[in-house]
Structure 1
Amino acid sequence: MKLGLAQGYWGAAPQPNFVEMAQEAEKLGYDSVWSAETWGNDAFTPLAWIGANTETIKLGTAVVQLSGRTPTSCAMHALTLDMLSNGRLILGLGVSGPQVVEGWYGQPFPKPLARTREYIDIIRQVFAREERVTNPGPHYPMPYGGEDGMGLGKPLKPMVHPLRNKIPIYLGAEGPKNIALSTEIADGWLPLFYNPYDESVYASSLTNTKPDFQIAQMVTVNITDDIDAGLLGVKHFLSLYVGGMGAKGTNFHKNLFERMGYADEAEQIQNLFFEGKRDEAARVIPDELADAMALIGPKDRIRDRLQAWNDSKVTTLLVATTDKQQLRDMAELIL
């Protein structure tokens, strides 16, 4: 199993040691470092900063939101960063959700599967640089032929000659059809939640997985003697997504918890969240579920629990930590 460093999105500001953490991960033999975006920082710029201060570690976006950029704009960002980093980019993409897409980007949220398929096809055309980029639509028509246009659109190829014509593309996906789509058109999958002790919820979506298909999973790591306190932190993270990252009737994270067999808990968490009772909502998450999705406890305990991850379909464990010693400990345990 490979190791990566998950740095997530910023919140109010970046972690002050985010470059140092990436440099330490590179020294320790980590395969990749990943940056995220939401309605704040973008995913590419931190990786450019990291890439300028490292040599070999791969640079992954987990994930770039489709509605934030047109497909060709996203491809431009990707091929630019890939060239500047000497071929180290992994492009992670995701549709996000209707609250963010419509509320932050001011875009509609129609047919996420069809849009994703079109989006990736256009990006791959840019990377390939074999023909002028065209797409009939309906989501991203190129050249644009709408009645409100001037009718002067011209198919183009990128001026830049990509360093790599096949930059790896991973999809962030939660729904069964979206996960299955990732196995069809992408090189890897970025789950949000994963239980290595029970992979059945994803089994039907991964039936056509290619031999070299990658699954990179973020895992909260906390090497501590206080297991209960460590698990409570994980519960707060999980409950935020189940209760707060989505509308009452449309929450993809809540839907996943329901498919995992925690429908009653998911409903209770959401209700408590809407009542402003975040601490109570976090405590609804069962200990065994939080424990399964994270690596919490003394080093010997984590060493034992790593076996489930080694036996799973996950190919890269993305360590979510801001502590250099935890990075070193995980390298010792896995690498």
Structure 2
Amino acid sequence: MTRWGITIPLTGVPLTAHRELVERLPDLGYTDAWSAETAGPDAFSPLVLASQWAPSLRLGTAIVPIYTRGPGLLAMSAATVAECAPGRFVFGIGTSSPVIVESWNGGAFTEPFQRSRDTLRFLRAALAGEKVTEEYSTFSVSKFRLERPPEPAPPLMLAALRPGMLRLAAREADGAITNWLSPEDVRTVRAELGDGPELVARIFVCPTEDADAARGLGRMLISSYLTVPVYRAFHEWLGRGDVLAPMHEAWAAGDRKRANELIPDEVVDELVVHGSPEACRERVQAYVDNGLDTPVIALLPNGGDPAEQVTALAPR
């Protein structure tokens, strides 16, 4: 089955005001609803609501940071959503970023590869209902057992940008979650992940034919995200190191306006989907044609009605 996902909640729409739209998503052709977690709603609550509003949707987190909750609380939160949506929940985890982990949550962003591996191994055991006592390399757990282990246990997905994490996802998880890539980049990512595991990607979509406005918004997002070290390294691996170097130099000098101006149109057009709803749908389909299993549309606000835009972007 071809999957077609949407990110919830939508920007500017109150969480409880999503009910009517979420109820309609399956009839529109959407198969998935995925949440995120930065400084807005947590990743789990929107999915609990959606599980009751649209009982046929598959629900996923993309992603929950592994540093901002203890291992046991991660398992408890995942088990709660899995109980609300049995067989329809996918638990996506990832390292997040030093800003979110350290500056906003007072944690320590250390040993991301090892912490991801250890968390996957703990969650695999805990969500299966096992009593876990283990000295992992990055944390230890003693005699933890879920009181209500979900049946079935949800698949585990890992946020991955480069070969090391992609290979870890292939070995230890059920798939990988990525973002900020072009349809052509999917082939590079898929080659590292392999053909078996599921590949999910959040795709930023701005359904407007005002290309200047879409590119302006895209530049702001690109300079905010791709200057983060892990995303910078990701795009250097994908081959955009030279073309993005001027942006990085301006950003490092503290000139954000100049950094935005130095992002070429072609980079914005590769990484942000924009145009008419039909053109946007075709571009999202190009990701699938290049090896993506589950596209998850992240609707960028452009002044239009979000519900109408979600309807217009539904698969045909």
1:24-63 mapped onto 2 (5 Å cutoff): 24-63=24-63
1:327 corresponds to 2:310? yes
1:172-191 mapped onto 2 (5 Å cutoff): 172-191=159-178
TM-superposed deviation, 1:73: 1.1
**Would you say the 8 A contact 2:201–2:294 is kept in 1?**
yes
1:278 corresponds to 2:265? no
Alpha-carbon distance between aligned partners in 2 of 1:199 and 1:104, rounded to the nearest angstrom: 31
Alpha-carbon distance between aligned partners in 2 of 1:262 and 1:141, rounded to the nearest angstrom: 39
**Would you say the 8 A contact 2:207–2:277 is kept in 1?**
yes
The alpha-carbon distance between structure 1 residues 100 and 224, as it changes in their structure 2 partners (threshold 3 A), is closer
Using the TM superposition, name which of 175-184 and 297-306 deviates more. 297-306
Using the TM superposition, name which of 213-222 and 270-279 deviates more. 270-279
TM-superposed deviation, 1:30: 0.9
Alpha-carbon distance between aligned partners in 2 of 1:28 and 1:105, rounded to the nearest angstrom: 38
Partner SS state of residue 5, structure 1? strand
Match of residue 149 from structure 1? none
Alpha-carbon distance between aligned partners in 1 of 2:200 and 2:95, rounded to the nearest angstrom: 18
Instruction: Count residues with an aligned counterpart.
Output: 310
Using the TM superposition, name which of 100-109 and 67-76 deviates more. 100-109
Match of residue 116 from structure 1? 116
**Would you say the 8 A contact 1:5–1:22 is kept in 2?**
no
Match of residue 218 from structure 1? 202
Match of residue 290 from structure 1? 268
**Would you say the 8 A contact 2:66–2:94 is kept in 1?**
yes
1:133 corresponds to 2:132? yes
Query: Match for 1:234 among 218, 226, 230?
Result: 218
TM-superposed deviation, 1:242: 1.8
**Would you say the 8 A contact 2:7–2:33 is kept in 1?**
yes
* Larger-gyration structure (1/2): 1
Using the TM superposition, name which of 60-69 and 314-323 deviates more. 314-323
The alpha-carbon distance between structure 1 residues 19 and 190, as it changes in their structure 2 partners (threshold 3 A), is farther
**Would you say the 8 A contact 1:9–1:36 is kept in 2?**
no
The alpha-carbon distance between structure 1 residues 54 and 310, as it changes in their structure 2 partners (threshold 3 A), is closer
Output the amino acid matched with 2:178.
Answer: P
TM-superposed deviation, 1:201: 4.3
Output the amino acid matched with 2:50.
Answer: I
Kindly report the root-mean-square deviation, in angstroms, between the aligned alpha carbons of the 2 structures. Answer: 2.6
**Would you say the 8 A contact 1:219–1:319 is kept in 2?**
yes
The alpha-carbon distance between structure 1 residues 234 and 25, as it changes in their structure 2 partners (threshold 3 A), is farther
| Percent pairwise identity | 28
Gaps of 5+ in 2: none
The alpha-carbon distance between structure 1 residues 307 and 98, as it changes in their structure 2 partners (threshold 3 A), is closer
TM-superposed deviation, 1:110: 2.4
Output the amino acid matched with 1:327.
Answer: V
TM-superposed deviation, 1:307: 5.2
Query: Match for 2:230 among 213, 236, 252?
Result: 252
The alpha-carbon distance between structure 1 residues 310 and 270, as it changes in their structure 2 partners (threshold 3 A), is same
Match of residue 72 from structure 2? 72
